[in-house]
Structure 1
């Protein structure tokens, strides 16, 4: 562990440790080049990794920090830089002088519903910007919501952010169990609804003064998130309380969407404080009031009043391990691959006789979201991924990322991107990835062809990725 006054990357002087959690340690530091104070996040690298897994983790963390650095919103703490030192990534961010929401709750107790609604709208704005860029925060909690002197909220610490639509939690147990959505605890694919669940849990804590699934032991907290409903937040009132219960639904598909949450919070602020015994106001014939008053079940009722959106051809994503035969994998990899169901929604063929070669197949089905059907949600997600990946084109350090190109004949739409990372001690070889993403109805599939020890003179092998994707899409019925 570095000590105070440690000089990071010859530029950032660590002054004091501000906090520590499962995802890493945050320091207050001085940027000696620009003579300004910054926050430095030392990302925690999981133990027990092989050298290859360690390198992959670090590469992902750096790439995802760079993606977060492109986000701009008044409620987002800016990411300025990311450096690699001591075999781990460090993220340089704005230093916000306000107090965290969890500290404010400890000092003053529960916050009024109106103040909680205003904070919720500001954090929601930050999440909407991140989601529009295809980035999930994955660690929304009171400790990562900062409040300045006028009460304005900002969302910080995108240190474990991940691409939207990816397979499961890339960082394992990183995050706080009481603020991790059930699907994340089950290591299922995360989406925008997962971040909104965490926002709901954070706002519940703010208005009640205690977490919705508060227990003595972390394991008990996780079990409560998965198996139990939280008590109705009595201090919130029926309007805000009903919304929070809806946001904490176990099934991501029935939670309110970001526009619905924004509409409900805005209506709550416009209506003013909820009067005691004010049931008559709840009988006003507005769809939103009726929905929120009913709690989580209200979102079902509202959706029943309008045509059910199209689900799409896929009620569930096919098992990726069934989308390629072993014979096809042998032909594609030109080796003897071993098939492994690495995690839900993902399958890998690892070539044992050619170390460093791995063919990965992922598949996930999008569900209807609000008024959008499954195919429309998949189309929006595909477009977001395309824009985000295209924005990453260029060279940074030893990483070179190519442009995004359309690939005809794979599903309804497909894109390909190649990337190459030079080894630290040479400019003649490195690691190569060819990544193909395709869409068919409400199904999204991804094929990643990874190779180690690749000569820089021939950094890409897109033909293998494209051939594999054609077989995968055909087997999936796309």
Structure 2
């Protein structure tokens, strides 16, 4: 561990340790070239990596730190430099005065709802910039939200930021369980809604004085995130509390979008939200209470903004999502899987058929609907979501450590449009076998569906088995068209 006078890269002299967490250690340092103070993050390299794995981790850390260095927003702590010394990545950032939100919560307890909403708006601004550049923060939590003397909030620690569409942190070091979205804990692809979930958990902690899934042990925290709903944050009041519960929905598709969160937080702080609500003037002020009422009414089950257009937008063919367990019969699943599966509703909107005999295999079916949003009807919102998902998944093509993704291909005969992507995760103790996934996403009117065909202990030389995913999706599409 470097001492107090350690000179990094012949330029940055480490003065004192400012903090330490799972992702690394942060030091106060002097930039001796420019004669100014900076913060230096020593990125933690996971233990047990092979020389090749360590090199891959280092290359990824440097690439993502450079990407984070291109982000510019008043609420983002700037990244100035990234250096490699003795195989160790170091990130050079602005040093920010003030205290972290978690320290403020520990000292003062629950914070006023209006103040928490203002903090949320600042952090949301930082996330919007990152998402616009195709980056996910992945570690939004009170410890990474800094409050300046005037109460302004900044989001720091983009050191584990990652491109959209990835499979989460493949090195197991990113994030804190109580602030990681369920899909990240399940090692499923992350998106902007994952960061928004983490923001919701952070604001919940600030307004309530304790985390939404607070437990004694980290494993219990992770289980609570995956399986349990948090108690309603009574300190937040009806409006902010309803929004936070909606942001913490298990299903990413049921969470409010970034513009919807901004509109609700702006209403709570009295600030003018961006977009049409900000421009609408006094004649539509009545919409803000209506937006907040919608938050409370829908809660964690899903939240959608009230349309600001004058007329009623098209809902689409599906008023609500169908029960995914009824989209396939057990007999159909058995024929596809070549075994006798066990069926279970694993969570709202998701059904699973599992064959336990070796090799184990699983068929997962998900279905959800998109609602009208602003000037867009339900089908148009679904098209927007499908297009975004297609771009994000195609961007994940390639191999990082043990996880590989193929390109996105179009599939005919399923819904109005459908795409498929194959993935493979090598086992940690063998390069010759792993788990295989074929994931098919389709859209019909305002409904989006996903079929995942998962096989375990598959040889890396085995061809991708996409047929069962396609067969199941075509049967589901036929059922939906009745």
Q: TM-score, normalised by structure 2?
A: 0.66
Change (3 A) 1:236 1:7: same
1:30-57 residue CA offsets vs partner (Å, 9 max, x unmatched): 1111111111111111111111111111
Matches within 5 A, 1:22-171: 22-171=22-171
Instruction: Give the whole-Å Cα distance in 2 for the aligned partners of 1:240 and 1:39.
Output: 34
Q: Structure 2 CA distance, aligned partners of 1:444 and 1:69?
A: 33
The answer as to whether partners of 2:290 and 2:306 remain within 8 angstroms in 1 is yes
Q: How far does residue 309 in structure 1 lie from its aligned partner after superposition?
A: 8.9
Q: Aligned partners of 1:204 and 1:252: how far apart in 2? A: 18
Give the Å deviation of 1:224.
1.0
Q: Give aligned pairs, total.
A: 362
Please report how far the alpha carbon of residue 78 of structure 1 lies from its aligned counterpart in structure 2 after TM superposition. Answer: 0.7
Shift, 1:308, TM fit:
4.3
Distance between the aligned counterparts of 1:384 and 1:255, measured in 2?
18
Which residue in the other structure is 2:428 paired with?
A: none
Contact 2:168 2:189 in 1 (8 A): yes
SS state at 1:39 partner: strand
CA deviation vs aligned residue, 1:10-45 (integer Å, no higher than 9, x gap): 111111111111111111111111111111111111
Q: Alpha-carbon deviation of 1:67?
A: 1.0
Question: Any residues of structure 2 matched to 1:160-199 within 5 Å, and which?
Answer: 160-199=160-199
Q: Which runs of 5+ in 1 are unaligned?
A: 273-282, 316-364, 390-414, 419-433, 449-470
Residues 35, 437 of structure 1: CA spacing in aligned structure 2 closer, same or farther, 3 A cutoff? farther
Partner of 1:217: 217
Residue correspondence of structure 1 range 259-270 to structure 2 within 5 A = 259-270=259-270
SS at match of 2:237: helix
**CA–CA distance in structure 1, aligned partners of residues 260 and 305 of structure 2:** 14
Q: Show the counterpart of 2:303.
A: 299
Distance 2:105 2:122 in 1: 18
Per-residue deviation, 1:474: 11
Matched residue, 1:394: none
Contact 2:256 2:303 in 1 (8 A): yes
The residue correspondences of 1:269-280 to structure 2 (distance < 5 A) are 269-270=269-270
Match of 2:291 in 1: 288
Match for residue 342 of structure 1?
Answer: none
Q: Hey, what does 1:377 align to over in structure 2?
A: 385
CA distance 1:308–1:7, shift in 2 (3 Å): farther
Residue equivalent to 2:251:
251
Q: Secondary structure at the match of 1:216?
A: coil
Q: Determine the C-alpha separation between the residues in 2 that align with 1:22 and 1:231.
A: 28
Q: Is the Cα contact below 8 Å between 2:254 and 2:302 reproduced in 1?
A: no
How far apart in 2 are the matches of 1:112 and 1:204? 11
What are the superposed Cα offsets for residues 224-250 of structure 1, whole Å, 9 maximum, x if unpaired?
Answer: 111111111111000000000000111
Give ranges in structure 2 of 5+ residues lacking alignment: 273-285, 325-365, 374-379, 411-416, 425-463, 471-482
CA distance in 2, matches of 1:308, 1:51: 53
* 1:169–1:188 contact (8 Å) kept in structure 2: no
Relative to structure 1, the CA distance from residue 171 to residue 259 in structure 2 (aligned partners, 3 Å threshold; closer, same or farther) is: farther
Gap change, CA 1:475 and 1:13, over 3 Å in 2: farther
What CA RMSD, in Å, does the superposition of the two structures yield over aligned residues?
Answer: 4.0
Q: 1:161 to 1:416 in 2, by over 3 A?
A: closer
- Structure 1 counterpart SS, 2:174: coil
The answer to whether the 8 A contact 2:249-2:302 is kept is no
CA 1:288–1:97: 2 relative to 1, 3 Å: same
For residue 206 of structure 1, report the CA deviation from its aligned partner: 0.6
2:165–2:190 CA contact under 8 A, matched in 1: yes
Greater Cα offset, 70-79 or 370-379:
370-379
